[in-house]
Amino acid sequence: MNWRALVFLGWLVIEIVSSSVQAQPLRISYSGVSGQNLAIWVTHEAGLFKKYGLNPEMLMIAGGVTNIQALLAGEIAFVYQGAASPVQAIAQGADLTIVATAYGLMPYGIVGGKGIQSANDLKGKRVAVSRVGGIEETAIRMALDKLGVGARNVTFIQTGADPVRIAAVEAGTASAAALAPPGLFGAMARGLSLLTDLGTLNIRYPTSVISARKTALTSERPLAKRFLMALTEGLHVYHRDKALAVRALQKYTKQPNQEILSKSYDYFVKNTPLVPLSELAAFENAVPTEKPSDRKPQSYYDNSILEELVQEGFVKKLAR
């Protein structure tokens, strides 16, 4: 081996060691296996967190409240979840904020079991949700109220993840459940009837948000900025590389049917933004109404880091 090869090898070792030392450990959680989580999965699978100097550990933590507790305890840095739990926590004074919204529509369909042909048939019946107080319950309540059925006329039961909710409807333990693709399409393929698709109701809601402690805006701002740079580039990759996105969807959802996976990707990507800015219209539907306060909807989120990235030309560079 000549001296040039030795020098190159030494340089390569130094680069590998220094990059591993500089990469900042980061624990990120997501709260379910529905397709609205695809943005964070694609970002991770494309290696973009590592590109921006982060060494991510991805954790699936079921339940919005559990994620919020882990976030407040400092066990994780960022949570990718529906807005119901962080909004409720912020309303109660938790030292949290929402730094991004990756999906701003309700992507759920309500499926019914035997004898349930329309949403009106759900009066007096039980409806399965992943967690009481979670986003599926919020989705069903909004849909039933908009359809004139009235959410007060059904009973919500907590059953767990998509496969368990589907099984509960099939067994008659529950009469209906709310599911997002690919679980929604999987349930329909098994013979459950689609009672209503919330996507067609065009209900604005921050379905996929990034929650963080408020230190993400102050002392930990550089870390949060790198995280959001990775996520924003991930959204661009998500739009451009369907094959990668479908592989990620299959990996995390365990759905083997390629047609369902492809259909799920198409369902979400058309309404997924390239820049995950939070919108007032979506948060107006997310703010708690049972205990009105002086807190304005825009006080639940902070777009300042993303706005910096836009102003600095980062987003324009990704578009090129």
Question: Where does 109-201 sit in CATH, by number?
Answer: 3.40.190.10
The two tokens of residue 155 are 């009973």
Total Cβ atoms within 10 A of residue 154: 21
Strand partners, 28: 58, 78
CATH topology of domain 3-105+204-319: D-Maltodextrin-Binding Protein; domain 2 (3.40.190)
> Where are the chain's structural domains?
3-105+204-319, 109-201
The pLDDT, as a whole number, for residue 291 is 62
Which among 170, 164, 171, 176 is positioned nearest to 127, based on CA atoms?
176
The two tokens of residue 168 are 């509960």
CB 231 within 8 A of CB 39: yes
Which among 311, 84, 58, 314 is positioned nearest to 211, based on CA atoms?
84
Residues of the chain with pLDDT under 50: 3-21
Give dist(CA 261, CA 198) in Å, integer.
19
What pTM was estimated for this model as a whole?
0.84
Buried b (16+ CB within 10 A) or exposed e, 113-145: beebeebebbeebbbbbbbebbbbbbbbbbbbe
Predicted confidence (pLDDT) per residue in 291-300, tens digit: 656 789 999 9
Give dist(CA 149, CA 110) in Å, integer.
13
Identity of the amino acid at 4? R
Task: Please determine whether the domains at 3-105+204-319 and 109-201 fall in the same fold group of CATH.
Answer: yes
The pLDDT, as a whole number, for residue 16 is 43
